[in-house]
Structure 1
Amino acid sequence: MKHQEVTSGWTVTATAGELPEAVRGTWPAMVPGSIHTDLLAAGAIDEPYDDAHENDLEWFHRTDWLYRTELDLEPPAAGERIDLVFDGIDTIATLKLGGTVLGETANMHRSYRFDITGHAAAHDLEVDIRSATIWAEALREELGNRPATNAPRPFNFVRKMASSFGWDWGPDFRTAALWKPVRIERWATARLAQVRPVVGVAPDGTGTVQVHVEIERSGLEPDTALELTAEVSGVRTTTTIAAGENGAVLSLRVPEAPLWWPVGHGDQPLAELSVELKNDQIVDAWTRRIGFRTVEIDTGDDEYGTRFSILINGKPIAVRGANWIPDDHFVSRITRERLDRRLDQALGAHLNLVRIWGGGMFESDDFYELCDEKGLLVWQDFLLACAAYPEEEPLRTEIEAEARENVVRLMPHPSLILWNGGNENLWGHEDWDWKRRLGDLTWGQDYAQRLFRQIVAELDPTRPYSDNSPYTPRRTPEQSHPNDADRGTHHQWEVWNRIDWTAYRSEIPRFCSEFGYQAPPAWRTLTDHVRATDGTALAEAAAPYADPVFLIHQKADDGTGKLERGMDPHTGVPQRFEDWHWAAQLNQARAIRHAVEHYRSYWPRTAGWIVWQLNDCWPVVSWALVDYEERPKPVYFALRRAAAPRALYLTEGTLVAVNDTDEPWLGTSEVRRETFAGEQHTSGNFTVSAQPRSVVVLPLPADLTTAKDPAGEVLVAELDGLRAVKTFGEDVTLTLDPDPLEVSADKVDGGYRIDVRARSFASDITVHPDRLASDAQVDDGVISLPAGARASFLVTSTADLDPAGLTRAPVLRTANDLKAVAVRTASPATGSGGHMVAD
């Protein structure tokens, strides 16, 4: 088979819609690409991610576009077929070659193939893309409205990335694009239409692969017998596909196959599986890397409810995860290199799973290949999120087709361990007033509870399927709520929306697949992209947290109010924006640390957690650990310490040692209660004997856990170089020294070292190196030191930094320094209070 990429000579022209004069005309187009980025490259629009430019681009929602290029095709050789293949079209399109309609598309998440053998003399290729908004609104009118987050935006009536229409962390740009490659494929006799490897491990350790192959014959010559060969790890087998037949199954057995394990549990050996289709010569070939492993989800009942425990190769895995959204709203800009960096940041935070959320997309092959290599487990949602989805045509056929295609595409990857039927749809039907509003209308129950389950069982039978997230297995009248913390998966959004983050400890979920807390991005990320309404810098605005332009980059319903009401009982609400920004970031770090420490303390009852969210798709105030410009927020470092394979916590009255390694953790922990100035009141030594993959909870005596002066004392525990600290009140009640550190900074090999020593208890020391240089990074953060303790930070940058600037605010901050700033009253509650934008 011969491939010819169709990447050059593309142009794009608006053909309908009320568009500005500046974008009229014909523009060069990148394929793969996006029309927004084409217009940006041509200077026809301003940077969409800056300031209020999102609002300036609303005209795009109702505009039609015409892509055009000239194909340079040689006539087909004898018996040769020519196919035109589109890997991804966003979204509603009519395709013409030489004026002849080849077909129509209505799904961003599918690929399309057209036989153009009889049109090889034609050259003019056109892709006419209609407004997905207008198309979806018309279908909504025809089928009847359904409730949805973000209503009235009709994302649930078109098979397009839901977050294209905006979300409570993302912009509303409603892209149109040839967002994946376009190519010509020339072939003869037959091609491999589908290769589906079902990989397993027999009880004796033999790796097994059932290779299900479907072929397409060209139809240009008589059918002939074809030879089909598959090989993996030196094991090879061959069969014959007889004339008139279009498929076969090949079985491979690899003795003592090396097992693929998630990170922290073993190695990630990958084996190349190759398939060849031959006549007198090879007519088509297929190659992927696979890994031998088994996966199960234990959803059995116990004394606490219903488990949701992931087992790899029969071993329970304590899941430490993060939810994943598309890493750029303009998804064609996401490169393998960017994904590699982002997934390395997940590993750097000691995470072992990423959940691909159902309002985004099925990610690129690069994403899953990198997860295979790194040992990151992948939980994959089918693409339904936070809405009622019609089960009528034309959506039903499209949803089934995209599910089938992507199950087959992704099933070779050992990192992929769970198919999930969607996000919050079952919960929405139960709790968000959908039943009354829907009446007898369909809403997607059949997709979640039958269709997807059936597709997975048919095509990918070795992987588990879950109906939704959150989801209660085996629902009965007595156990019916889909978001029951005691049964299956659970989303915790009362914290953030309505109650303080200390309430994470009010429940012990079996598996918390969503929880999160907001904060602004890094200072430079925010200020490089956002200015106040009058064009001044945010720090110079009178009330930047309420500025209309700032709020374009704060999508959460009443988001600023929730940030401030969340800060109020802990740090207070600073008046000055720079202090407000730091307090908000600090509160996010503490909230997520608090939740993770709680969840991990209850392993294996709580079998895992997945924080919302790892990444951002543009510069925005959000729940992300890492912002759009790839800068970790303080929460990243707080979570990294809380999620470490070995971690030490102080909770209410107990010392907790988490040992998620394969070796015992034995030692003696010193626990002491002392003043902020370092005067010791009492101490004790406690034997820690944590067996592999276990948690030890040691009660502490009252003389340690009861303070004489709650405003000025701290509890400190140390073990094997780890330290845990716990104050006896919130910052607003504590007598923290606002200037507790001795600090020096020096240029060293590899960067700049900041050395700190605590004169008095120093809470959550954090370095913000982006305040000095755009590429500056720091190796750690959110560290608390009792009096007399020391710590060092390494800052790296290509810039020539002033070491003195690293020793003081706004670069070096502590929770203590917020004691010296002016505060104000938190914003009153407004809006619906929901996690998502109210419908």
Structure 2
Amino acid sequence: MKKLFLTLATLLTSALGFAQQPYELNSGWKCAPVGKVAVKGTELSNPSYSLADWQPATVPGTVLTTMLNNKQIPDPFYGINNQHIPDIYQTGRDYYTYWFVKDFKEEAQAGEQVWLQFRGINYSCDVFLNGKKLTDKPHTGMFLRKTFNITPYLKKSSPNRLAVIVYPPDPVGNPNGGQGGDGTIAKNVSHQYVAGWDWIQPIRDRNTGIWDKVLIEKTGAVQLKNPHVVTLVPGTRMPDGPQKPATIKVSTELENPTASRIEGTVQYTLEGSKVSKKVSIPAKSSLTVDLPALTLQNPKLWWPYGYGKQHLYPVTIQFVTGTRVSDEEKIQVGVREIQTEWNATTRSKQVSVNGQKIFIKGGNWIISDAMLRFSPERYDAEIRFHRDMHLNLIRIWGGAITERPEFYEACDRYGLLVMQDFWGSGDCNGRWVDPAKLEDQWTRRKYPDDHSLFLESAADQVKMIRNHASLAIWCGGNEITLPSDIMLPLRDSLLPALDGTRWFIDYSNSDDMSFNSLGGNGDGPYGIQPITQFWSFKTWPFNSEVGSVGVGDIQSLERFIPKENLVAPQYSKGKSQVDSVWQYHKYIGYDQYIDPYGKAKDTRDFGRKAQLVNYDQYRALMEGFSSHMWEWYTGTIIWKTQNPWTALRGQMYDYYLDPNACLYGLHNGSEPLHVMYNPADSMVMLANNTFQTHRDLMLVVKLYDMKGKETLITQVFSEIGPSTARPYLSVAKALAKAAKEDGVFLSLRLLNLNKEIVSDNLYWLPNEKGTYSGLQQLNTVDVQATAKQVGQGKIEVTLRNDARNPVAFFNRLSLVQSQTKQRILPTFYSDNYISVLPGEQKTVTLEYTPSSENKPLVSLEGWNVTERFIAIQ
């Protein structure tokens, strides 16, 4: 019976064909610096050559990552450790030039082809397999994938040896301060931040290494690659209800490496409809096949977060010969269409999805990890945080990379549109005079050195990510256009041929995106601002970069600042006094905005008060822009929402994935249906970032003094139309009287006809002198707190405040390990830094990935609530 089963399994496999999912070569690598290797690659790649004295290597990874994992360098993200790691500019390139070697078992059966794929190497390499050199010249370019057909070189019934020598960028750039050091790193088709920026210290090896996946794929005679799916959704759609048809267009590349012509069929099935086309591929050639268009009836559409669901169709595209599948590609298809048009009122572009205009609430993204240590889990966590901030777009900044497919998969799931920059910046590429730069503006304006490589790399990366529903906008570069012989072919030839469905912006603050009538660079400011500024000062109508502070609390700071350097910044007479380690980690000043809460007594107190400022800053930023949607603005993109290094600025969560109050200020201020207070004119407003008219909303406006006494200002039914913001009433007189001595709490709520809260917003307002004297004297309250497990990795925490108490203000919930009391990261909170009004309760949901280490606890700490730990029932 066992033999019969094996025979049937073999026959079934033969009938299905050769196609298999590629697998990674991601363990068992060894490495050595080039200076310690005396033999050539042809000898080194012979499996008989001994690697006994070689060290383990991290692949995917960089040389520095391998050195860190082998404990040869200290953690460059902690303290000033990075300062003690040799920089490649001083050591020379050979110091970080490394051999990477991997032994693996694989052989080709009759009719099979085996492919070796590199998804990213920085910066150039030569590749050897079993004594054979596969590269006739070094493969070059950080953003250029490379595939080798290794079928003829594989050994039968014995291990194969792959050897790769990786060379750093050339030049590596002098990290002499400023943005991108001396700028020469931009002579490469590579990322620029590695020479240092205003949010990071230099990466000492410039991220040299096999930084992305190495894959083995087995196919039949023909390889199917770079499929392209275009979805057309005509007309104006709504997220719910029956849909008119959409059109699906699919094409793909086919490669036949054999000496014979191959006949076969390209096919895929979507929602039960099969589309196919017979093709003939000449020997040793490639061709692109366009399949017949499919009319998809009543499609389930993909929408940005906050507007509708993110439906994704699984599609497998195959090349079949007879009854055998030679190769296949599996993709997730989101049916949607991106449109743009010029808004004559704002004088900026507005973005539409499926015919509906979307007010852009975005965040600038650098990279997930500055040393390129990527994982699907970290991507998922970071994109989920952006979803939880109620944002709908992420911009990938041009000094970094083309983000990885796993990043885009997370954006597809969570509904984040993506604006993807190509590789350039105004800082390195010559927009401004900069005495730190080695070469003049005219020379830098021509960077990179190899324009053909740039275009070849751009074409390859477009093919890699173009099928993702989340990808919405291409951008030529950060704050400057690319050289004309790059930008014009990119815009006029390459993108129309390889994509043709997305808006292309020539550079990130271009007049094509946003007419910058105020002059200047067209973005910023980047520092802390009076919150009235966000409401009353008209900035650029689609601001690609505007942002502020982002220091975490003491638990965050302790992760990367040595104890002796945990000294709170001091601000006096217009100047800040800041510890040297804080400066090394690019601290940006809170200036006079801490003192109204009382001068910080120590670092713990500073971090605590910084969270109040964080929350207020980012709530006001998004509320201020939303209050003028379609009148002043079509969107804004925060600079920036995350740090891939332990920097002390512009982040909603720290490098270790611990959120701070910035995240929850945005979570509040960006919610799709929102009630808000304009501090510039004391108007209560509603903002509706949905496609529906919301009727029968009870608007409730109340004041609470510092003892908890409630005063009703108004309670009135309201409504608001789709995608709009409007003022309702002024509370200036009531606030002037109530807040005069000690400040006051302003509670704004929207309730539906079932008396359920649909928007809840609590402001703490200063006294007439601009200080929070009442908060400083707020009585301590003893809230009732319970926590219960409601599912795998899901906890509900309820806080109850007695009616006789004042407001239980600004409570931070944390999930912690029961023994160490350290936070479990990442944990996702439905809300945080919450306040509970007298006589009320609030419930917050926590989600995390459970482990068997120990039973967690919930930590509670508030402004006037004593810290405690809550057992989970």
Q: What's the TM-score once normalised by structure 2's chain length?
A: 0.78
Greater RCO, 1 or 2 (C-alpha within 8 Å, sep 6+): 1
Q: Which range moved further: 120-129 or 683-692?
A: 120-129
- How far did residue 385 of structure 1 move? 3.1
Whether the 8 Å CA contact 2:812–2:861 is kept in 1: the answer is no
Pair 1:547–1:689, CA change in 2 (3 A): same
Is 1:201 the equivalent of 2:233?
yes
**Could you tell which deviates more after superposition, 716-725 or 627-636?**
716-725
Q: Deviations over 1:677-701 (max 9, x none)?
A: 4667883445422123332212426
Change (3 A) 1:151 1:74: closer
User: Which residue matches 1:437?
Assistant: none
* Partner residue of 2:562 out of 531, 543, 558: 531
Report the equivalent of 2:472. Answer: 417
3-state SS, counterpart of residue 457 of structure 1: helix
Amino acid at match of 2:379: L
Matched, 1:230 2:261: no
- Gapped runs of 5+ residues in structure 1? 18-23, 427-442, 485-490, 813-839
1:268 lines up with 2:277 in the alignment: no
Tell me by how many angstroms 1:165 deviates: 2.9
The 3 A distance-change label for structure 1 pair 788 and 330 is same
| Structure 2 counterpart of 1:513, one-letter code | S
Shift of 1:242: 3.3
3-state SS in 1 of match to 2:291: strand
Structure 1 stretch displaced more, 802-811 or 395-404:
802-811
Give the structure 1 partner of residue 590 of structure 2: 563
Mapping of residues 626-775 of structure 1, within 5 Å: 626-651=653-678, 652-661=681-690, 662-671=692-701, 675-677=705-707, 683-700=713-730, 703-704=733-734, 706-707=736-737, 710-714=740-744, 715-720=746-751, 721=757, 722-725=760-763, 727=765, 729=767, 732-736=770-774, 737-750=776-789, 753-756=798-801, 759-760=805-806, 764-766=810-812, 772-775=821-824
Which one of 360, 369, 372 corresponds to residue 412 of structure 2?
372
Letter in 2 for 1:286: E
Query: If the length of structure 1 is used for normalisation, what is the TM-score?
Result: 0.81
Match of 1:439 in 2: none
Q: Which amino acid aligns with 2:180?
A: N
Change (3 A) 1:310 1:686: same
User: Is 1:108 equivalent to 2:148 in the alignment?
Assistant: no
Of 552, 561, 578, which residue of structure 2 is paired with 1:521? 552
Tell me the CA shift for residue 765 of structure 1: 4.8
Greater shift in the superposed pair: 631-640 or 280-289: 280-289
CA drift at 1:625: 0.6
* In structure 2, C-alpha distance between the alignment counterparts of 1:803 and 1:277, rounded to whole Å: 55
- Which segments of 5 or more consecutive residues in structure 2 lack a partner in the other structure? 1-18, 37-51, 236-242, 430-443, 752-756, 790-794, 849-853, 869-873
Q: Deviation at 1:328?
A: 1.7
C-alpha contact (below 8 Å) 2:809/2:863 kept by paired residues = no
Alignment partner of 1:40 is 2:81: no
Find the counterpart in structure 1 of residue 454 from structure 2: 399
Give the aligned length: 761
Tell me whether 1:609 sits opposite 2:636 in the alignment: yes
Q: Where do 1:213-612 residues align within 5 Å?
A: 213-218=252-257, 220-244=258-282, 246-253=287-294, 254-280=296-322, 281-302=324-345, 305-331=346-372, 333-386=373-426, 387-388=428-429, 391=446, 394-425=449-480, 444=483, 447-448=486-487, 451-452=490-491, 454-473=493-512, 483=521, 491-493=523-525, 495-496=527-528, 500-505=530-535, 506-507=537-538, 509-532=540-563, 536=564, 538=566, 546-552=578-584, 554-555=585-586, 559-560=587-588, 562-567=589-594, 570-571=596-597, 573-605=599-631, 606-612=633-639
Identity %: 21
When residues 522 and 401 of structure 1 are mapped into structure 2, their CA distance, relative to the original with a 3 A threshold, is farther
Query: 2-side partners of 1:211 and 1:364: how far apart?
Result: 22
Structure 1 Cα separation of the partners of residues 463 and 309 of structure 2 = 25
Give the superposition deviation at 1:314: 0.4
After TM superposition, give the deviation of residue 708 of structure 1 in Å: 7.2
Q: What is the CA deviation profile of residues 627-676 of structure 1, one whole-angstrom value per residue up to 9, with x for unaligned ones?
A: 12211101111211111222211212311012334351433434456754
Return 241-250 or 354-363, whichever deviates more.
241-250
**Mean alpha-carbon deviation: is it higher for 695-704 or for 458-467?**
695-704
How far apart in 2 are the matches of 1:15 and 1:120? 26
Structure 1 residues 317-364: Cα deviation after superposition (integer angstroms, max 9, x where no partner): 223322222222232x32212222222222222222222222222222
Q: 1:474 to 1:787 in 2, by over 3 A?
A: closer
Secondary structure of the structure 2 residue equivalent to 1:339 = helix
Q: Which moved more, 1:543-552 or 1:601-610?
A: 543-552
Cα separation, partners in 2 of 1:9 and 1:374, compared to 1, 3 Å:
closer
Per-residue CA distance 1:412-443 (angstroms, 9 max, x = gap): 111212112222225xxxxxxxxxxxxxxxx6
- Greater CA drift, 771-780 or 741-750: 771-780
Relative distance call for 1:587 and 1:94 in structure 2 (3 A) is same
The structure-2 alpha-carbon separation of the partners of 1:761 and 1:259, relative to structure 1 and needing over 3 Å to count, comes to closer
Cα 1:573–1:111 shift into 2, 3 Å: farther
Counterpart-to-counterpart distance in 1, 2:380 and 2:128: 37
What is the rounded CA distance, in whole Å, between the counterparts of 1:696 and 1:577 in structure 2?
A: 41
Q: Name the residue aligned to 1:781.
A: 832
Matches of 2:202 and 2:410, distance apart in 1: 29
State how far apart, in whole Å, the 2-side matches of 1:100 and 1:643 are.
55
Report the CA distance between 1:802 and its aligned residue: 9.5
Deviation by residue 1:424-466 (Cα, 9 ceiling, x = unmatched): 225xxxxxxxxxxxxxxxx635545652454222211122212
Amino acid at match of 2:185: F
Corresponding residue number in structure 1 for 2:441: none
Q: Which amino acid aligns with 1:360?
A: A
Question: Structure 2 counterpart of 1:411, which letter?
Answer: R
Cα distance between partner residues in 1 of 2:343 and 2:687: 24
User: Quick one: structure 1 residues 444 and 763, their matched pair in 2 at CA, closer, same or farther if it must change by over 3 Å?
Assistant: farther
Q: CA RMSD in A?
A: 3.9
Q: Sort the Cα spacing of 1:573 and 1:611 in 2 relative to 1 into closer, same or farther, 3 A.
A: farther
> Equivalent residue of 2:783, what SS?
strand
Residue 31 (structure 1) shift: 2.1
Question: Match of 1:129?
Answer: 166
Amino acid in structure 1 at the alignment position of 2:546 = F
Partners of 1:112 and 1:480 in 2: CA distance: 45
Shift of 1:14: 1.8
Summarize the Cα distance change of 1:296–1:512 in structure 2 as closer, same or farther, 3 Å threshold.
Answer: same
> Partner amino acid for 1:420?
C
Partner Cα distance (1:39, 1:334) in 2: 17
